[in-house]
Amino acid sequence: MARLVADPDREGDVLVAPATPPGISALAVVRLTGPAGATRRVARQIARRLPEEPRPREAALHLLVGEDGRPLDRALVLFFPAPHSATGEEVVEFLCHGSPAIVGGLLAAARAAGARPAKRGEFTRRALANGKLDLAEAEGVAALAAAENRGAARRALSLVEGDLSRRVLAAKEAILDVLAGLEAGLDFAEDVEAADLLAAGAALDAAAGEVEALAATAARGGARDRRKVVAILGRPNAGKSTLFNALVGRDRAIVTAVPGTTRDAIADTCEIGGETVTLLDTAGLRATEDEVEKIGVAVAERAGEGADLVLYAIDATRGLSEEDEDFLRRGRGEGTLLVRTKTDLVGASSLSSSPAIELSVSALIGAGLEALRAQMAERLSLVEADGELLVLERHREALASAAAFLRDAADLARRVPGEPELVAARVREALAALGAITGETATEELLDRIFAAFCVGK
């Protein structure tokens, strides 16, 4: 891969930035990166007893001083020599106490010693420039930092680990083999036999199929980008709010024995199948003359209609009512999961049998909640499939473009008389589209746009 410029104007600067979020915490990390020697010189202005040749990757306790030379903190200092660091440059990290005053003092001391504040994503951009990762892997770093659930983190890590890049590289290798055969005969285009072009067309069709399959895998993974919505419906006092609180893991909704306590849809999030799901607690469904409660019931019905899944709560102490039976008659099939609640209040022999009720839970003592979460994950198609990739919208567009160029090239290869020059031109365009995913054909403008979305310190 051609070397990309990290910062065309100031490539030799030592950068400094916090690598942990702002605010009060037990620990914080302040990171320096830059040319060999220069980074250590800045670090020694802060950790005065840091050796000129620190031991690589060995944490050592040092007194840190501010720009005025006065003690600032006692913290661990780690040194990573080039090229064996995250950025490929010399890196020094300070693991200090997480006081904003200490972090701010370290940043000021580093600036006074000659470092400059890093721009968004500049550490990762230098890693890209130094061949530590490619562009798709770099984007995975940002996705991993922003992952809000385990599923998103797993997919982002697969991007960082190069799963997508390897698939793209394999596709490129197959396409390059075809292009090599085409270009070998371009100087003698009139001697290229129709059979050779037909074989090239078949190979290009196969390559297009591989790229389209990769894009399809991406589309399945991308379906998870939209957060699923689950609404809890049922009669008043059916245990909806208690179930809601149990699933979100905190007392978010008010729980009382008074019917009609919940008057509006209350939203929060929970993790189902490793993914973040929006959960809605709603007003009890019943006929009422109370104007406010009527509005709440209407809101609940709309929430159920718009949800990806409805959990319909049926109180085990009361059994099925006319309202429940009416709901079952109007049911939504796979879109509704019938849940018997409050099972801790009745014995197993007292539970009424109903083929429609699929799960029994006690949200109060946690019984049956894991089975409920598993069923929710299955109904919402959140059971993670093997080989699922995180593919960003930019990647999807590049894959679609490459596949279109390959199909066009295959069609041209089958024409009589053959035109190998046009076929080769389309193949090169397909390779350029794939190269944009890993960064080989990325422009500086594209890099600027991508890294502007990163956080400072990454």
Q: Give CA–CA dist 421/429, Å, rounded.
A: 13
What is the pLDDT, as a whole number, of residue 29? 96
Q: Cα torsion at 423, 428, 434, 437 (round to 10°)?
A: -160
Q: How confident is the model at residue 309 (pLDDT cuts 50, 70, 90)?
A: very high
Provide DSSP, 192-225: --HHHHHHHHHHHHHHHHHHHHHHHHHHHHHGGG
Q: How confident is the model at residue 8 (pLDDT cuts 50, 70, 90)?
A: very low
For domain 15-134, give the CATH number.
3.30.1360.120
State the CATH class of domain 142-222+391-438: mainly alpha
- Domain ranges in the chain are 15-134, 142-222+391-438, 229-379
Q: Maximum CA pair distance of the chain? A: 89
Kindly report the number of other CB atoms within 10 A of residue 399's CB atom: 27
Higher model confidence: residue 358 or residue 433?
433
Higher model confidence: residue 129 or residue 198?
129
What is the pLDDT, as a whole number, of residue 6? 46
Kindly report the number of other CB atoms within 10 A of residue 415's CB atom: 13
Closest residue by Cα to residue 120 from 145, 88, 101, 99: 145
Closest residue by Cα to residue 391 from 136, 138, 144: 136
For residue 11, pLDDT over 50 is answered with yes
For residue 183, pLDDT over 70 is answered with yes
For residue 318, pLDDT over 50 is answered with yes
pLDDT tens string 325-353: 777 777 666 688 888 888 888 765 455 55
Specify whether the CB–CB gap between 277 and 380 falls below 8 A: yes
Q: What is the mean pLDDT of residues 79-93?
A: 95
Q: Give CA–CA dist 366/346, Å, rounded.
A: 15
Q: What is the rounded average pLDDT for all residues in the chain?
A: 84
pLDDT tens string 364-375: 888 889 999 988
Q: Which fold has domain 229-379?
A: Rossmann fold (3.40.50)
Q: Which of 52-61, 218-227, 368-377 has the highest mean pLDDT?
A: 52-61
Residues in the chain: 458
Q: Give CA–CA dist 213/400, Å, rounded.
A: 10
- CA 113, 118, 122, 123 torsion-angle sign: positive
Q: Give CA–CA dist 350/341, Å, rounded.
A: 13
Q: How far does Cα 403 stand from its chain's mean position?
A: 25
pTM score, two decimals? 0.71
For residue 28, pLDDT over 50 is answered with yes
Q: What is the mean pLDDT of residues 152-171?
A: 88
